[in-house]
Amino acid sequence: MDISTLSEKINHTLSTLRYGENPSELYEPIRYIMALGGKRIRPLLVLLAAKMYNEDVEKTLLPAAGLEVFHNFTLMHDDIMDKAPLRRGKQTVHEKWNANTAILSGDVMLVRAYQLMMQVAPDKLPKVLELFSQTAAEVCEGQQLDMNFEQRGEVSIQEYIQMITLKTAVLLGFSLELGAILQGAPDSDAEHLKAFGDNVGIAFQLRDDLLDVYGDKDKFGKQVGGDILSDKKTFLMLTALEQANETQLQTILGWRDRTGAETAEEKVKAITQVYDELHIRQQTEQQIDLYFRSALQHLDAVQVPDERKATLRGLALQLMERDS
Amino acid sequence: MDISTLSEKINHTLSTLRYGENPSELYEPIRYIMALGGKRIRPLLVLLAAKMYNEDVEKTLLPAAGLEVFHNFTLMHDDIMDKAPLRRGKQTVHEKWNANTAILSGDVMLVRAYQLMMQVAPDKLPKVLELFSQTAAEVCEGQQLDMNFEQRGEVSIQEYIQMITLKTAVLLGFSLELGAILQGAPDSDAEHLKAFGDNVGIAFQLRDDLLDVYGDKDKFGKQVGGDILSDKKTFLMLTALEQANETQLQTILGWRDRTGAETAEEKVKAITQVYDELHIRQQTEQQIDLYFRSALQHLDAVQVPDERKATLRGLALQLMERDS
């Protein structure tokens, strides 16, 4: 069973979900955001981990779908907080309807996510729900830290890593852990898969920071330098701030808060030059490599034959756009 | 064990809850809203129902506390949507901090509510969580209907009753049902207690509508006529709209949207006069009586000796401020 077969199963499951009908103002936004698509990476990770222990993954489909509903709940609420106009090229829920609708539809999505997560064997229920709840709270903590950091002057690299771990990585880790738990994998396997997912998640987020500056414009699909233009405290920026000499620091601080379109190109060029001088690209790649290696070590420690890990390993490599 | 002893137990349990520490911006608002107090009526209902079956109510304390956390989560989010400046005489969370914080702290409160609700015997877990989730979604539906009705011209009495049932009553009903389920009560008893709570909840809300116009100012503690001044579609107003003759309708519609302080007294007087002409007070009292009688019939149907129902019956009478 390859990834595209698993993806079909996930999409079919998602298409069968019924969130509710009345009042339509509450439930229509849920159908809307769930129909915007996306890679459905979290349910896919559930199924890939599950498949390592049992080819039959049917019983993991509903909780896997619950993770996707949960993820989209976080997007709906984050978009309000970030005042984001667009999500996957379409109007965000709070733009298409209003903030109140996005708050309340999001709330009921979290309830629906729990209801899907509850569709597991009774003996697994306490553990699954406790780990899910813990992860859900961590994701909220990550979002709060992210908002805090926007307001704060200084943020350390360590704090930044903690923030992306909570906001993004732990849910990927839990997805794999969930798949393992549902198939009765040994605890140590479930924990190594969780650690694999956490580390891949951190590496993936750092790579996202890197590509914003050094990515191939056509491939990346976003404006190069968007993070620089919006003064975002990325791994690159925080590393540069830690290592900059007086002149470089003046350059960075001199450009801060200057978000005008007419000087955009010049700003990206100036900051990128500081990054180049400090070898920020290489340092970031080194960090990514560290997290990715750590991830693979955890995957190695999982006690199943290597051939059963091949798809998951392949997906991770593909996410990192690496050949080996 | 009387009500004050049970209340002490509840308050003690609530005081032992730990929501989280970091980031403080996420968890401080939870401690703040939980410290604002309130009657803790929902956990009290859990314990009163539980006590009908077993004097030992210890195992119901954490899920009962979960209902109070859930209730305060809905208050935190509702206050954002209603742009309410005050809650129990203090600044609302979105006023003291900001709307983003109130959204995200509320989200994590819903997660914490689930975690407390999970503290039940494993064999009860699936049923408790499914009923809780269903109730939680219904409460969201009620809030959405309430917001819809503010925007809509016509609302029927039936729609209004459905709205207050979902927004307020079902959580009171579930509180009693939960207490019964946790003590292993027969299904039919749990269902009758749920119906008792639902009906008391509706009666209580209608009474709230009534007191806003006909209440004793000193006793009620709110400005008399507040609902009239804000053009709120209460049971009284909707009944009046259905039964008004041409002149009375002109009076009501003529005052609509006129919210100035200088004409406030005149407005309350004019609308109250229409109510008086249509005997709205008596009609509302009749409705309250119907729901309250229905509640008591369900309590009668519960298969425990009458003396075990006395405290619950007494509380309901007290809530309705009636002697019998």
CB contact under 8 A, B103 and A104: no
Query: For residue A13, which of A119, A171, A168, A108 has the smallest C-alpha distance?
Result: A119
Cβ A135 vs Cβ A166: under 8 Å: no
Q: What is the pLDDT of residues A211-244, one digit of tens each?
A: 999 987 666 556 678 899 989 999 999 999 999 9
Structural tokens at position A104: 């309340």
What lies within 8 Å, CB to CB, of A188 at 6+ separation is A301, A303
Instruction: Looking at the complex, report in whole angstroms how far the Cα of residue A89 sits from the nearest Cα belonging to chain B.
Output: 23
From A72's Cα to the closest Cα of chain B, the distance in A is 14
Looking at residue A85, its pLDDT comes to: 93
Query: Of all residues in chain A, what percent are helix, strand and coil, respectively (each to 5)?
Result: 75, 0, 20
Give the pairing type, strands B86-87 and A90-91.
unpaired
pLDDT of B321 strictly over 90: no
Neighboring chain A residues of B98 at a CB cutoff of 8 Å: none
Homologous superfamily assigned to A1-162: Farnesyl Diphosphate Synthase (1.10.600.10)
* pLDDT tens sequence across B49-87: 999 999 999 999 999 999 999 999 999 999 999 999 999
d(CA A55, CA A63): 17
Q: Look up the CATH number of domain A186-324.
A: 1.10.600.10
Looking at every residue in chain B, the average pLDDT score rounds to 94
Residue A154's nearest CA partner among A230, A210, A233, A229 is A233
In chain A, the percentage of residues whose pLDDT exceeds 70 is 97
Q: How far apart are CA A63 and CA A50, in angstroms?
A: 12
Mean pLDDT throughout A21-27? 96
Q: Collect all residues of chain A within an 8 Å Cβ-Cβ radius of residue B22.
A: 141
A and B: number of Cβ contacts within 8 A: 113
Nearest by CB: B136 against A80, A111, A133: A111
Nearest CA in chain B to A136: B111
Distance of residue A224 Cα from the nearest chain B Cα, in angstroms: 29
CB–CB of A107 and B104 under 8 A? no
What is the distance in angstroms between the Cα of B111 and the nearest Cα belonging to chain A? 6
Q: A319 falls in which pLDDT band (50, 70, 90)?
A: confident
Which class in CATH covers the domain with range B1-140?
mainly alpha
- The sign one gets for the Cα dihedral A309, A310, A315, A318 is positive
Least confident of A37-41, A211-215, B215-219: B215-219
Is the C-alpha dihedral spanning A30, A36, A37, A39 positive or negative? negative
Contact B43, B65 (CB under 8 A): yes
Nearest CA in chain A to B100: A81
CB contact under 8 Å between B104 and A140, yes or no, is yes
ipTM: 0.95
Chain B positions in Cβ-Cβ contact with residue A22 (cut-off 8 Å) = 141
How would you classify the pairing of strands B86-87 and A86-87? unpaired
pLDDT tens string A272-312: 999 999 999 999 999 999 999 999 999 999 999 999 999 99
Q: What is the pLDDT of residues A74-85, one digit of tens each?
A: 999 999 999 999
CB A150 within 8 A of CB A21: no
Residues A129, B133: C-beta atoms closer than 8 Å:
no
Nearest residue on chain A to B73, judged by CA atoms? A107
Which residues in chain B are contacts of A128 at CB distance < 8 A? none
Percent of chain B whose pLDDT exceeds 70: 97
Chain B residues with beta carbon closer than 8 angstroms to that of A103: 77, 80-81, 103
Q: Which chain B residue's Cα is nearest to A142?
A: B23
Enumerate chain B positions whose Cβ falls within 8 A of a Cβ in A.
Answer: 20, 22-23, 25-26, 77, 80-81, 99-101, 103-104, 106-108, 110-112, 114-115, 118, 122-123, 125-126, 129-130, 133, 136-137, 140-141, 143-145, 147-148
Distance CA B83, CA B79 (A): 6
On the question of pLDDT at B283 being above 80, the answer is yes
- Interface test with chain A among B140, B148, B151, B174, by most A beta carbons within 10 Å: B140
Mean pLDDT of B246-269: 92
Query: What is the pairing mode between strands B90-91 and A86-87?
Result: unpaired
Q: Is there a contact between B104 and A77 if contact means CB atoms under 8 Å apart?
A: yes
Contacts of B144 in chain A (CB under 8 A): 23, 25-26, 101, 104
Residue A324 scores a pLDDT above 50: no
Closest chain A C-alpha to B202 CA, distance in angstroms: 20
CB-CB: which of A99, A111, A147 is closest to B137?
Answer: A111
Q: How many whole angstroms separate alpha carbon B188 and alpha carbon A118?
A: 25
pLDDT value, residue A220: 54
How far B209 CA sits from the closest chain A CA (Å)? Answer: 23
Q: Nearest chain B residue to A121 by CA: give it.
A: B126
**CB–CB of B144 and A77 under 8 A?**
no
| Per-domain boundaries in chain B | 1-140, 186-324
pLDDT tens for B79-127 read 999 999 999 999 999 999 999 999 999 999 999 999 999 999 999 999 9
* B1-140 and B186-324 share one fold: yes
User: Would the CB atoms of B25 and A130 count as touching at under 8 Å?
Assistant: no
- Chain length of chain A: 324
